[in-house]
Amino acid sequence: MGKNNSLYIEHLLLNGEYVNVRMADGIFAAIGKDVKPEAGDEIFQTDKNLAIVPPFYNMHTHAAMTLLRGYADDMELFTWLNEHIWPFEAKMTPEDVRIGSELAILEMVKSGTVFFNDMYWNTEETWKVLDRMGIRGCMGITLIDTIGEERIQQSFELLERLSGKNPRIQMSIAPHAVYTVGEKLWIRAAEAARKCGAKIHFHLSETEKEIKDCIAEHGLSPVRWLDQLGVLGPDCIAAHVVHVDDEELAILKERGVTIAHNPVSNMKLYSGYFRSKPAIDSGCRVTIGTDGCSSNNNLDMREETKCASMIAKCNYGPETLPVDMAVDWATKNGAEAFGVNGGEIKVGKVADALLVDLDNERFVPCYNFNSNWVYASSNEAFDTLICDGKIIMKDRKMAEERRIIAEAKACCKKWM
């Protein structure tokens, strides 16, 4: 939608006061009551009462799994994965991944997400969609031992080819998990990522079975085994991290690993409860992700953030994971993990913003904005999403959404 290099918006609520905001060349250039537009600015026109907040960072998902929404429910992880998901995914074409990724980005934009950390097959298709649709992301190239040496080598070549190609899109190598990737491939994957300056994105300590099997095979828990292999470092994004002890949390903190907490998926697949208070006490950087649409079954980061806070309170007391900290987990912490100068509405930060309709019924009354945003609101209050100073969605409308939904419906008919 937005095409100019500069954008001006008047009368936005920020931290309890109304300000004017000017964005230029992809950053917040000026914020304040007396800020005025400059020549050539695109002027944002609205009669709505809006607040400006940082958008969400979805730190672990499988975007094209939107096409598997509701396909296999109400079972534990390994039955779900081995008997349902992997056989389905084996039938998916690159075109299916393109269609599913478009649907995912549409859903994420309309629920206030500006960045997603993906892990899936046919990564280049999702990369092309993300390049065109205008938000940020990290595209993970999935590795498991059984895909064979030729595809593994092609994966490393793709990592090199796409790294640095678009400043909005980072790359990662994504060794799936300790139960699908052996020692040699873990080491190769870490070396390849570090050669390219890419991230390493993987599932870690998601289920009790994973822990028991890893100890049986390697004599160590997954965290300790990967640490022994030299994999763990500040370039690692570890999803789930449910079944870890205090010593393992200390290892993750020392190595600078970012944890991507997935509360809804953990509950739905009976994986367990994340140890939120020990993780906070350890000093680990914690972020939030939705996981994929077949294990959630949506990409709604506001809902995910609320669930993270509620589960923490249920297990550790009502003071645990207060709303302001939960917002940081869902926004600022993700930006920091990926080295994006964002996650906050401040001059000099990247011009990413979510505009929220304060006249939506769930923002009335508004004693505490963050409380309403996380605990009360819904996506219907999310009016506008801006990335890099460009309008991606306005008035809850995004370019091509009817086409995207129609294509996804048509695509899924062959599996029904």
Q: Digits of tens for pLDDT over the chain (416 positions)? A: 555 699 999 999 999 999 999 999 999 999 999 999 999 999 999 999 999 999 999 999 999 999 999 999 999 999 999 999 999 999 999 999 999 999 999 999 999 999 999 999 999 999 999 999 999 999 999 999 999 999 999 999 999 999 999 999 999 999 999 999 999 999 999 999 999 999 999 999 999 999 999 999 999 999 999 999 999 999 999 999 999 999 999 999 999 999 999 999 999 999 999 999 999 999 999 999 999 999 999 999 999 999 999 999 999 999 999 999 999 999 999 999 999 999 999 999 999 999 999 999 999 999 999 999 999 999 999 999 999 999 999 999 999 999 999 999 999 999 88
Q: Running DSSP on this structure, what letter comes out for residue 138?
A: E
Which residue bears the tokens 């000017």?
Answer: 22
Which residue bears the tokens 């996650």?
Answer: 343
d(CA 73, CA 79): 10
**Of 37, 103, 52, 38, which Cα lies nearest the Cα of 349?**
52
d(CA 60, CA 142): 13
- At 1 the pLDDT is 52
- At 3 the pLDDT is 58
**Cα–Cα separations (whole angstroms), residue 329 to 81, 260, 361, 408:** 28, 9, 26, 31
User: 357-364: which pairs have CB atoms within 8 A and are 24 or more residues apart?
Assistant: 357/48, 357/49, 357/50, 357/381, 357/382, 357/383, 358/13, 358/49, 358/50, 358/51, 359/48, 359/49
d(CA 13, CA 369): 10
The residues, any chain, with a CB within 8 Å of residue 25's CB and separated by 6 or more, are 5, 6, 389
pTM (2 d.p.): 0.98
Which 3 state secondary structure label does DSSP give 223?
helix
- At 416 the pLDDT is 84
Q: For the segment 150-193, what is each residue's pLDDT rounded down to a tens digit?
A: 999 999 999 999 999 999 999 999 999 999 999 999 999 999 99
**Cα–Cα separations (whole angstroms), residue 12 to 43, 51, 134, 232, 374:** 13, 5, 23, 42, 19
Where are the extended beta strands (E) located within 25-112?
A: 27-32, 42-43, 50-53, 56-61
- At 237 the pLDDT is 99
For 2-33, letters b (16+ CB in 10 Å) and e give: beeebbbbbebbbeeeebbbbbbebbbbbbee
Indicate the helix (H) or strand (E) that contains 171.
Answer: strand 169-175
d(CA 207, CA 272): 7
Q: For the segment 253-264, what is each residue's pLDDT rounded down to a tens digit?
A: 999 999 999 999
Structure tokens at 45: 């026109």
Structure tokens at 199: 């991230």
Angle formed at CA 156 by CA 154 and CA 157, multiple of 5 degrees: 60
